């Protein structure tokens, strides 16, 4: 029986989350009630997940009908979002390549490389986790 070839394993690592202002993130804007933490950048080998951040949507966030905290943007890599809540439902509105959908927790969203997207928290509290699937170049 052929066993799959096992790559050498690196030691386990921990990347503590680093608070960062949404206004310094391309395609985003700071709003009250959403805190962002960069979980890692360059933590995995090249070609793997390159970036991960979490946005904490608290009860201090006041939803609106507008698009306040992200602006349309594109990545040259896939993006995965996890929308999670332990206190009811967290709701996001997505606009992806011109079409709009409502997404509720618990959900996973995959945005292929090259899609123009933005999202907005529109109700509830919880966590919005964002991962970029390989090296990224913001446009
Ligand atoms: Zn994005």
**pLDDT truncated to tens, each residue of the chain (139 aa)?**
555 565 555 666 778 889 999 999 888 999 999 999 998 887 777 777 888 999 999 999 998 889 998 999 999 899 999 999 999 999 999 999 999 999 999 999 999 999 999 999 999 999 999 999 885 455 4
| pLDDT given for residue 134 in this prediction | 80
Map out the domains of the chain as residue ranges: 18-132
CA of 80 to the centre of ligand 1 (A): 9
| pLDDT given for residue 5 in this prediction | 60
Report the SS3 class of residue 73.
strand
CA of 87 to the centre of ligand 1 (A): 25
CATH for the stretch 18-132: 2.60.120.10
Block residue for tokens 């991960």: 52
CA of 7 to the centre of ligand 1 (A): 31
Do the bridges between strand 91-96 and strand 117-123 make them parallel or antiparallel, or are there none, so unpaired? antiparallel
CA of 118 to the centre of ligand 1 (A): 7
CA of 79 to the centre of ligand 1 (A): 6
| pLDDT given for residue 136 in this prediction | 44
| C-alpha separations of 31 from 24, 39, 57, 64, 92 in Å | 12, 20, 10, 11, 15
Tokens representing 121 are 């928290």
Nearby residues for ligand 1 (ion, Cβ within 5 Å):
79
DSSP 8-state class, residue 139? -
**101 pairs with which residues across the strands?**
94
| pLDDT given for residue 106 in this prediction | 95
| pLDDT given for residue 57 in this prediction | 96
Phi, psi of 120 (to 5 degrees): -145, 130
The pTM for the full model equals: 0.80
CA of 60 to the centre of ligand 1 (A): 23
CA of 107 to the centre of ligand 1 (A): 16
Q: Is 87 exposed, middle or buried (0-12, 13-18, 19+ CB in 10 A)?
A: exposed
């Amino acid at each position: 029986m052929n066993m799959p070839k096992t790559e050498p394993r690196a030691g386990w690592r921990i990347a503590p989350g680093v608070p960062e202002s949404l206004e310094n993130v391309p395609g985003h804007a700071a709003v009250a009630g959403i805190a962002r933490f960069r979980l890692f950048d360059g933590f995995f080998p090249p070609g793997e997940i390159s970036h991960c951040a979490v946005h904490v949507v608290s009860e201090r966030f006041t939803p609106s009908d507008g698009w306040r905290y992200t602006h349309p943007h594109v990545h040259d890599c896939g993006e995965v979002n996890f929308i999670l809540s332990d206190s009811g439902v967290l709701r996001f509105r997505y606009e992806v390549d011109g079409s709009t959908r409502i997404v509720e927790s618990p959900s996973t969203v995959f945005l292929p490389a090259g899609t123009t997207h933005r999202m907005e928290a529109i109700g509830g509290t919880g966590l919005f986790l964002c991962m970029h699937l390989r090296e990224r170049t913001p446009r």
